[in-house]
Structure 1
Amino acid sequence: MTTEVEIAARMAADSTRNRSRTNRLDTHAIDAVVIGQHRNPFAVLGPHQIATGVWEIRAFIPDARNVEILGWDRDTVLATMERRQEAGFFAGVVKADQRPGYRLRVENLHGSETRYDPYSYGPILSDQDLSRIRDVGSDAPYRILGAHQATIGEVEGFLFAVWAPTASLISVVGDFNSWDGRIHVMRLRHGMGVWELFIPGLKAGTRYKFEIKGPDGHTLPLRADPMAFATEQPPATASVLHAAKDFSWNDQGWIAERSAQDQRKTPMSIYECHLGSWARVSSEGNRYLTYREMAERLIPYVRDLGFTHIELLPITEYPFDGSWGYQPVSLFAPTSRFGTPEDFAAFVDAAHEAGIGLILDWVPGHFPNDPHGLGYFDGTHLYEHADPRQGYHQDWGTYIYNYGRQEVSAFLVANARFWLERYHLDGLRVDAVASMLYLDYSRRPGEWVPNRYGGNENLEAIDFLRRMNETVYSTSPGTLTIAEESTAWPGVSHPTYTGGLGFGFKWNMGWMHDTLRFISKDPVHRRYHHHDLTFGLLYAFTENFILPLSHDEVVHGKGSMLGKMPGDRWQRFANLRAYYGFMWGHPGKKLLFMGGEIAQEREWNHDTGLDWHLLDDPYHRGVHSLIRDLNRVYRDHPALHERDTEASGFQWLISDDAENSVIAWARRGESDDSIVVVISNFTPVPRSGYRIGVPLPGFYQEIMNTDAEGYGGSNVGNLGGVAAEETESHGHPCSLSLTLPPLGTIMLARSPSQNG
């Protein structure tokens, strides 16, 4: 930020430049100010030297009856201002050897108040500051633009800055000026198109927006601040002034430990959560829980279940509840539905104190067309492409960011940094990456524009994603980025220096679709769909994968996880338990959407809380207990997580028993003798004496059986474990003779001996 000495020098220079044309102020200039159409209000308002040692001070205060000019630090009346125009234009003369400091005492219908004049201040942000808003990877966009609490001289207020290069006029409006766009017109500062105004005396918590006149002079709908740090609660749409002081953090140890981890080798079990519908307070009108209430309830719950992370569906402020947050307007503000920015920071801190990481669902792929948002922001297509073939999502009715515009990419990358640095979040799951990568995404021929090489790759979006990932990993060590990318785009989670996109992980959408298709079949037909279980292992190590059972699988008529399962009630629950065991034993990190852990019966509804009463039922309670134990086993056995992304950590044991719908493999940890064998039987037939070859001798302890009585199963199993026999099978020198439970998954951990 510019020093006060530099500000004073600029103010003096402004005065000298304007002196000759401000000696005489014609009525046209006054009229332009009064009707809010003067494009340079600083040339008219504020102090202007009209002769040696004589200054005329001018102010436009529509509701004033009388205005007096007071000294800077005392209540001495220097002059009484003359009303020059009935609408509220005042002027008064004072004598001073240099540009005077002063205050205005305004008398109106409500009494008298003393205020500082915004037009007495010169430019505050430096040209160097302003030029940095184009620096992709810098935090300058959110540190320079927006509304920042500032002290200029000894006066506190808020400094506003907004990027709108083709606007003809911009005003700050709010409760403090009765939303009158004539009163606080901003100064156009820079060739970059940044407008600036310091308004003294404003306090945090005040509502505001920008009134923008487009290049043709037409007044646009009031815009929310793109950089607002806080907002009022939807459906209201105003930005709210926020004093962005440092929060009180207690997570230094967590941050240090996080930075030292290789997350590809650590257990990662993610609880995906929509904060607005995890639980509601039915006794108080079905209201939301607050961030602080969720710190007290959600975080201990997740910790008890053994999840390592919570992934939040988008909490960047969004106007429409039905978008679940995927159509955000204020990307720098945590939604006010659940409390203040301080409350959200306290929620993050509580998660870290409990040993839980927080991942934000982040939406840089598109934005809604709400009139207070970014669309057509300054009367032109500023943030989005002008051509709808590039700038408009037909499926979602949203705008697409123009990643080729440096200011836009800088804005988005700065936003990624903001959440990780300002709020200490542990990662970003990037929504709808496929829609960003392909110019012809969900478009027919003729509805898209090829790139400069004639291809369908969005080269600007690819460059943006790479820059974003490089920035995140260099500025926030220990954090992670995750791509929701549903195609076979190569190298999504490979480093950028090898030609990859640079993400840390990628959702394995193919695994999810294939295995859900398999498990939804009646067991009698599964033999014909066995490849749905095995196909994913052909590419399981081409990326750093997360296995997602996300919110998208339990909405829009798809039914709940339990609802996808065939058979009678017992079989449905057994199928679900077997499938979860299969998932937790499969290579890849884990993600489960809330409600899946209690076997929710109905589809997810964002307007109501989960059906917690289901835990009174032993079958539902059994699934809940199973998830807790799966997370414990996954965490406690390195073979199940250390080589999640490496082919050397996986070994097929049985892949071809389609007739019995049995599948088996061995998982290995960093130590070659660290082995867990995973076997799933996806038929309701228990199988005794089922022989399976294993790579090493020893005792194989049964550490997980999804058919255990405590989970609601039939308790068919192996009485704690089985010793390997020196009987060759499946190409291995030794083997196990097992009892496979019906519709069950078992896991057996090897030890050198039964006592080992």
Structure 2
Amino acid sequence: MSDVHGWSAGERAAIDALVRAEHGNPFAFLGPHATGQGTVIRAYLPGALRVELLDAQSGEGLGDMQQSTPGLFCQHLDTFRAYRYRIHWSGGVQETEDSYAFGPLLGEMDIYLFSEGNHRELGQVFGAQLTRHEGIKGVRFAVWAPNARRVSVVGNFNAWDGRRHPMRLRHPSGVWELFVPRLGAGEVYKYEILGQGGVLPLKADPMALASEPPPATGSVVSAPLDFDWHDDDWMQRRATVQGHQRPLSIYEVHVGSWRREGGRDGRSLTWPELAEQLIPYALDLGFTHIELLPIMEHPFGGSWGYQPLGQFAPTARYGSPRDFAAFIDACHQAGLGVILDWVPAHFPTDPHGLGRFDGTALYEYAHPFEGFHQDWDTYIYNLGRTEVHGFMLASALHWLRVYHVDGLRVDAVASMLYRDYSRNQGEWIPNRHGGRENLEAIDFLCHLNDVINSEVPGALVIAEESTAWPGVSRPTGEGGLGFAYKWNMGWMHDSLAYIQEDPVNRNHHHDRLTFGLIYAFSEHFILPISHDEVVHGKRSLLDKMPGDRWQQFANLRLYLSIMWSHPGKKLLFMGCEFGQWREWDHDHELDWYLLRYGDHQGVQRLVRDLNYLHRHEPALHQLDGQEEGFQWLIGDDRSNSVYAWLRSGAHGAPLLVVHNCTPVPRPNYRIGVPLPGTWSVALNSDAEEYAGSGAGCMGEVATLDEVSHGEAQSLCLDLPPLGSLILRPQAL
């Protein structure tokens, strides 16, 4: 039975659903549909004044479409012809093909791999992809929202009207797709989603390749990265350069506050400006790598990037995706590796983000005891869901493959491993075995590392992990998690607690520097002095040091020397390398003016020389993770707070390392050494060139035939106050 307009009850229901923006299958009604008398073409274009139907090839007019219901235009063709529309709006005229005349877009294999959690290239398939479909240029949109009643893509191109471009649901995957003809790069868009409980706040695209600069939150259609890389030499030798037996000294950087154009309160540097300034600075100081705090798009700058929502999009704060690629390329051409901090543990609750994306807990666990971090006010990824597992796996591979990044430092691993992390009794849900381990997250981390080891050989994956979980850097085939390195948080806490003690009390805390050597070879460790240690009232590294100004600088030089001579790779946060006094502030640049002063210059010069030794002395890096590379000589001199050890490489002579952790000079301090002859001082942290007092041994020292510390010969050394000595034996 038909109504006054000739519509059947089913057609009228479809029209009503379109008008209410509730139609979940627009392709069933819109576009071309065969009838017994030919083809009927329907378009729903709210706000259009007039619509002409044109022949797609010739542009010949096929007549004005009839508008029987406001916004609904129809035309009957006796013989079907490919067509397009000429739409008359109040603000102008638009010609376009019909989105609802195109068949399914994503291939069955893409859908299958996504649902299985094994699609490696989501960033090149899902989201907004510039493409040519059936000979027409435009943008293919694809988004996962399985519990939505309707999903529309909205933007300036359709006046942000969710009735204009509702999408097709691909059963049973829950993926919605639509091709919008004649759309190009630079268009801002979001998704309007009708959940079971109503229309949700507009959602940014989880797989967008670019975003608007914050505080705007729209996703941006981005062309695939078409960049002419010049880093073949680096990429070919990267696996060797980044091997466990090679030096690794990392300069950790927050891009927005390293330097600023115009000084302390100026704007952040762009990627091209950072390439001109940051790369030569890091190279001059001898770092092998820079590590960037997360540059994935994030809404709140005060999160420093650790609450990202754009897991495939470099933040627009510093330039375009192409600018970011050019920065990586410039680093590689200069011989500098790049590590990105990456956050698979949690995401922010911003309404335009992933939280309750289709009106349900889709990316996160549903129960707050599993899915909400009280400490950080964030949602926790449900990595046990195959689609979420695959989403994060594809994100990791995106940065490593598309942008040639050399490694990922995985944030907050401890929070991923344990279901009771930072939770009180009764506030967490055990795993299926009744335990506290998060089995889904563990499976994800193992899979992540196995895939990267196989598909991106030479790339590093580093765990920020603070517990005693065994085998973090052991291969998965041996029962480990498969990371290349683990941050040594125990060493960091113990060593900082020790160095902050007044030297007169250090004899009571002697074990804080010795304890770490008990487990130093149980993992492949990185010694981290990161951004977390110089914020939130913890004071800067220099300001942690006890004593008057001279002693504070001496203690800082001593501490850096301890760090660089201790087994483990190195990571130092920006500003620590020249002794910034104030805490790090993400809204202002570092206090570069301090380098006018000799004591700050001295710290910077020391870091440069420590990095030189680290890179050029195999004994300081080659056997970092092996007991054979370390030997205690003096670990029990509590009364003097003196430590001495040997560092060895796979071949060649060892280095002697001595630390005097009190301000008392110690002349003629005897230490047994394994080789007779002359030993030369490679570094004295109290040297005048470092703004020290110039005390302690300089130049060369000859051994004496006196037994000490189990060795047949010994050295009598003048130990500088609050100072370190590193000595090498001369060739015999």
Provide TM-score, normalisation by structure 2: 0.98
Question: In the alignment, what sits opposite 1:42?
Answer: 27
Q: Distance in 2 between matches of 1:169 and 1:177?
A: 17
Match for 2:67: what amino acid?
R
1:405 maps onto 2:389 in alignment: no
Q: Does 1:641 align with 2:625?
A: no
Number of residue equivalences: 727
Q: Which residue of the partner structure matches residue 718 of structure 1?
A: 697
2:168 corresponding residue in structure 1: 187
Q: Over residues 556-607 of structure 1, what are the superposed CA-to-partner deviations in whole Å (9 max), with x where a residue is unaligned? A: 1000000000001001000000110111011000000000011000000000
- Deviation for aligned residue 1:410: 0.8
Matches within 5 A, 1:245-284: 245-261=225-241, 263-282=243-262
Cα deviation, 1:413-438, whole Å, max 9, x if unaligned, reads 11111100010000010111000101
Report what 2:75 is aligned to.
Answer: 92
The corresponding residue for 1:209 is 190
Question: In structure 1, which of residues 690, 698, 710 is the aligned counterpart of residue 677 of structure 2?
Answer: 698
Q: Quick check: 1:132–1:141 contact (8 Å CA) kept in 2?
A: no
| 1:58 counterpart = 2:48 | no
What is aligned with 2:602? 622
Task: Find the aligned partners of 2:581 and 2:83 in 1 and give their Cα distance.
Answer: 69
Whole-Å Cα distance in 2 between the matches of residues 546 and 562 of structure 1?
21
Moved over 3 A (4+): 21-25, 134-138
CA 1:584–1:173 in structure 2 vs 1: closer, same or farther (change >3 Å)? same
**Is the 8 Å Cα contact of residues 264 and 588 (structure 2) preserved in structure 1?**
no
Matched, 1:345 2:325: yes
Amino acid at match of 1:719: M
Helix, strand or coil for the counterpart of 2:210?
coil
Deviation at 1:84, TM superposition (A): 1.6
1:148 paired with 2:129, answer yes
| Matched residue SS, 1:150 | strand
Mapping of residues 585-604 of structure 1, within 5 Å: 585-604=565-584
1:285 CA displacement = 6.1
Deviation at 1:135, TM superposition (A): 3.8
Match of 1:665 among 620, 645, 654: 645
> Match of 1:590, SS?
strand
Measure how far apart 1:260 and its partner are: 3.2
* Residue 536 (1) aligns with residue 521 (2): no
Question: TM-score w.r.t. structure 1 length?
Answer: 0.94
Aligned-residue offset at 1:79: 2.1
- Aligned to 2:367, which of 372, 381, 387? 387
Counterpart for residue 31 of structure 1 = 16
**Aligned counterparts of 1:484 and 1:113: Cα–Cα separation in 2:** 53
Match of 1:162 in 2: 143
| CA drift at 1:265 | 0.5
Q: Distance in 1 between matches of 2:631 and 2:117?
A: 44
1:154: Cα distance to partner? 1.9
Shift of 1:261: 4.1
5 Å-filtered alignment, 1:462-501, equals: 462-501=442-481
| Separation of aligned partners in 2, 1:67 and 1:308 | 62
Instruction: Look up the match of 1:5.
Output: none
1:37 match: secondary structure: coil
Asked if 1:67 is matched to 2:51, the reply is: yes
Amino acid at match of 1:705: N
Output the amino acid matched with 2:324: F
**Alignment root-mean-square deviation, CA:** 1.5
What is the SS of the residue equivalent to 1:497? helix
Are 1:47 and 1:100, in contact at CA under 8 Å, matched by a contact in 2? no
User: Which runs of no fewer than 5 residues in structure 2 stay unpaired?
Assistant: 1-5
Q: Distance in 2 between matches of 1:536 and 1:653?
A: 16
Instruction: Name the CA distance, whole Å, in 1 between partners of 2:522 and 2:10.
Output: 72
Kindly state the Cα deviation for residue 144 of structure 1 after the two structures are TM-superposed: 2.7
Measured against aligned partners, the alpha-carbon deviations of 1:323-348 in whole angstroms (never above 9, x if no partner) come to: 11111111110010101101111111
Match for residue 3 of structure 2? none
Residue type matched to 2:418 in 1?
Y
Instruction: Tell me: CA distance 1:752–1:260, structure 2 relative to 1, closer, same or farther (3 Å).
Output: closer
Query: 1:25, CA displacement in angstroms?
Result: 6.7
- Mapped partners of 2:93, 2:567: distance in 1: 71
Task: Tell me the amino acid that sits aligned with residue 36 of structure 2.
Answer: A
Inter-CA distance 382–696: structure 2 relative to 1 (3 Å threshold): same
| SS of corresponding position for 1:119 | helix
Greater mean deviation of Cα atoms: 301-310 or 69-78? 69-78
Deviations 1:502-535 (CA, angstroms, capped at 9, x unpaired): 0000000000100111100111111110100100
Contact 1:494 1:502 in 2 (8 A): yes
- 1:683 equivalent in structure 2: 662
Deviation digits for residues 407-464 of structure 1 (CA, Å, limit 9, x no counterpart)? 1111111111110001000001011100010111111111011112211111111111
Whether 1:609 aligns to 2:594 is: no
Farther off after superposition, 144-153 or 294-303: 144-153
1:315–1:335 CA contact under 8 A, matched in 2: yes
**1:320-379 CA distances to partner (integer Å, 9 max, x unpaired)?**
111111111111100101011011111111111111101010100001110011111111
Answer whether contact 2:283 2:336 (CA < 8 A) is retained: yes
Distance 1:561 1:184, change over 3 A: same
Contact conserved, 1:22 with 1:44, CA < 8 A, in 2? no
Q: What percentage of aligned pairs have identical amino acids? A: 56
Report if aligned partners of 1:130, 1:190 keep a CA contact under 8 Å in 2. Answer: no
- Picking from 280, 292, 300, the partner of 1:320 is 300
**Cα gap change, 1:25/1:70 in structure 2, threshold over 3 Å: closer, same or farther?**
farther
Name which of structure 1's ranges 441-450 and 261-270 shifts more when overlaid on structure 2: 261-270
